[in-house]
Structure 1
Amino acid sequence: MLKINQSSPVTFILKGIPGLEDLYLWLSLPFSFMLATILLSNSTILFLLAMESALDKPMYHLLAMLLLADLVSTLAMMPQVLSLFWFGIQDISLASCLLQMFFIHGTSVVHSAILVAMAFDRYVAICDPLHYTTVLTGSLVCRLGLVGLIKGVVLILPFPLLLRQLTFCRTVIAHTYCDHMAVVKMACGHSRPNRIYGLFVAFLVVGLDCLLIGISYALILRAVLRLSSRGARLRALSTCSSHLSVVLITYGPALFSAIVHRFSHSIPVHSHILLANLYLLAPSLFNPIIFGVRTKEIRDMVTKHLGHCPGR
């Protein structure tokens, strides 16, 4: 097998979704719709959060960070996918591939860290409401966001740095974007450190973050069950509904995709790739819709601005 000299430019070929090449034009329609929906819904909520003083609260600051991470992830991935579907552009340089990988995986880590911060916000709001404003200060929220950003950079930066040290025997990637493990499989020689580190990051991010979120909700549930009124218990739990829905949408498809990828070898490759695309797009697509529909303050602001549209 031909080895590629790392001193010369390396160009990968993204094959997209093997077996569905004849359907690329049709597949571009739902992907284009998802991109338009993500850009419109995320931008609308971010605009409201920036403009409305009534939404100047810690939970909404964290929501703004979450939506920004989703937008960056989508914009890192979707232009490449649609270029492949529309124009058949498959070539991507090593530098562009590693940059795309960094932003896609980095924003996933940031997204997960912000979900942990949101769980802490809900814990304080329900378990210690009298001290909510003194605990969840603006500076603390900024620090939580900064910690999430640093975590994403520190954990994901070794991905491209380690890959730069490898020699590649193959350049045809059966994927629509530069996923870390998909690129590692193109390498020849000693890629075990890359695989071990990728597994370490996955367990650290998903395992630790899910554990922290689980602890927060265990404490919240204990506090809610101590409330004497059934109505008070339902109101307390309803304040967590949006965040819980986002947690399920974030970790659920990713876990399902990982299980299918590891244990269902009889499932066609194109199903794995479609799942990988959908679990990345699902949070960006549904997060603003969930918070817009299930959060009364945001819903009221959307209604107010729609009422000001010309002709209404």
Structure 2
Amino acid sequence: MIIRQHMEAQSNTSSILVPDFLLICFPNYQTWQHWLSLPLSLLFLLAMGANATLLITIRMEASLHEPMYYLLSLLSMLDIVLCLTVIPKVLAIFWFDNKSISFSSCFLQMFVMNSFLTMESCTFMVMAYDRYVAICKPLQYPSIITDQFVVRAAIFVATRNGILTMPIPILSSQLRYCARIIRNCICTNMSVSKLSCDDITFNKLYQFVIGWTLLGSDLILIVLSYSFILKAVLRIKAEGAVAKALSTFCQSHIFKIRASELLFSDLPAIMVSSPNNTGIQVTEFLMICFPGMQDTQHWLSIILAPLLVLALAANFVLLFTIYQEASLHEPMYYLLAILSVLDVILCLTVIPKVRPSQATHFSPSAR
């Protein structure tokens, strides 16, 4: 009993001794941080400038005061908030070695990242519905897609994603922490929670379920919208109709690129090798996906496999349509075809390797 009380007291003391967190960006490349800050700062200025220009243009141009451009403005504002939440702190770490971040700032950043990323995907879903109504129900478009619709959609986007992602930082803030070094540039839920002395199984499960529910439902609705668009256009067979429909696929490609970044940027790859002083030559690496969720890998594969089939099918349909339709033999659609080919290569390079197993061998020569 005395030992148990002592251990509990020691655990409580260790959690109290952690006043804040330390963000360690790229632990193996500390000497390169000043050089890494150069492209990051340029990308930051580019993103802020592009979104600010878009917002000003929509505000000043009266012909752009339409629901579709209001939704585009909402997407730009979400981008600006995400940029201001993440990149300035990363630049402060690179330039001034300001690695410390308070508890409240860390959990606020966690909330903004989780909620606003899902808000972006939800906005893409609303934009896909807007294109569906515009092409499949053009006569009803003015009565369905109105300014009131945009307001209700914006409230829905903010409320749904804000409420459902709010428990993630709240659950993390209730944990007792025994360490303070976060080996990440931002305060993600998993990076922070694994520093806790408590059991984080529920935290991981909740983020997994909410993430796949929100992003998965948005992706399914987007695909359904564009499927109906393509079906309607191919049935009409009007001159130029296919070109008009395919122009809307640019938005879906942007979503797929963002979804791919969200999906694979958090796949931890642990490369296991022997120490150099043993004289043993390393012939392969060992990749471990989701180290804390090994038991759920087969369930993850059930979700990942349909996404692979869906991505490949969508790109092949796009390529086939551009090839068959003479009116699409134009530079813009050639560039779109190149984007689809690159998307197919990326999918075939990454997703088949991520198969359900506890460890996947990976030869260095295949890199």
Identity of aligned residues (%): 34
- Give a deviation string over 1:231-255, Cα, whole Å, max 9, x none: 22212322x0331232122212223
Partner of 2:125 in structure 1? 116
Partner of 2:58 in structure 1? 49
Partner of 1:304 in structure 2? none
Partner of 2:250 in structure 1? 242
Secondary structure of the corresponding residue to residue 221 of structure 2: helix
> In structure 1, how many angstroms separate the alpha carbons of the residues matched to 2:259 and 2:199?
31
> In structure 2, how many angstroms separate the alpha carbons of the residues matched to 1:97 and 1:81?
13
Secondary structure of the corresponding residue to residue 192 of structure 2: helix
> In structure 2, how many angstroms separate the alpha carbons of the residues matched to 1:80 and 1:257?
19
Q: Does 1:40 align with 2:45?
A: no
- Cα pair 1:227 1:233 within 8 Å, conserved: no
Q: Does 1:89 align with 2:89?
A: no
Shift, 1:170, TM fit = 1.3
Gaps of 5+ in 2: 1-6, 273-284, 290-331, 333-367
> In structure 1, how many angstroms separate the alpha carbons of the residues matched to 2:271 and 2:128?
38
Which runs of structure 2 are paired with 1:1-312 in the superposition (5 Å)? 3=11, 5=13, 10-238=19-247, 240-258=248-266, 261=267, 264-266=269-271
- Cα pair 1:58 1:138 within 8 Å, conserved: yes
Which has the larger displacement, 4-13 or 210-219?
4-13
- Cα pair 1:159 1:194 within 8 Å, conserved: yes
Shift, 1:3, TM fit = 4.0
- Give a deviation string over 1:26-61, Cα, whole Å, max 9, x none: 000000001110111100000011111110111101
- Cα pair 1:98 1:178 within 8 Å, conserved: yes
Letter matched to residue 123 of structure 2:
I
Shift, 1:83, TM fit = 0.4
> In structure 2, how many angstroms separate the alpha carbons of the residues matched to 1:35 and 1:195?
31
> In structure 2, how many angstroms separate the alpha carbons of the residues matched to 1:246 and 1:142?
23
- Cα pair 2:172 2:189 within 8 Å, conserved: no
Q: CA RMSD in A?
A: 2.1
- Cα pair 1:119 1:217 within 8 Å, conserved: yes
Letter matched to residue 270 of structure 2:
H
- Give a deviation string over 1:285-309, Cα, whole Å, max 9, x none: xxxxxxxxx9xxxxxxxxxxxxxxx
Distance 1:154 1:138, change over 3 A: same
Shift, 1:7, TM fit = 5.9
- Cα pair 1:9 1:93 within 8 Å, conserved: no
- Give a deviation string over 1:194-227, Cα, whole Å, max 9, x none: 1111111111122111111111111111111112
Which has the larger displacement, 31-40 or 185-194?
185-194
- Cα pair 2:230 2:245 within 8 Å, conserved: no
The higher relative CO (CA closer than 8 Å, separation ≥ 6) is in 1
> In structure 1, how many angstroms separate the alpha carbons of the residues matched to 2:85 and 2:37?
17
Secondary structure of the corresponding residue to residue 19 of structure 1: helix
- Give a deviation string over 1:156-196, Cα, whole Å, max 9, x none: 21112111211012110000111111111111122111111
- Cα pair 1:9 1:94 within 8 Å, conserved: no
Secondary structure of the corresponding residue to residue 20 of structure 1: helix
Shift, 1:4, TM fit = 5.9
> In structure 1, how many angstroms separate the alpha carbons of the residues matched to 2:58 and 2:12?
49
Choose 1 or 2 for highest CA Rg.
Answer: 2
- Give a deviation string over 1:41-96, Cα, whole Å, max 9, x none: 10000001111111011110100000100100110001110000001111111111
> In structure 2, how many angstroms separate the alpha carbons of the residues matched to 1:186 and 1:4?
14
The alignment of Structure 1 onto Structure 2 pairs a total of residues equal to: 266
Secondary structure of the corresponding residue to residue 13 of structure 1: strand
> In structure 1, how many angstroms separate the alpha carbons of the residues matched to 2:16 and 2:152?
41
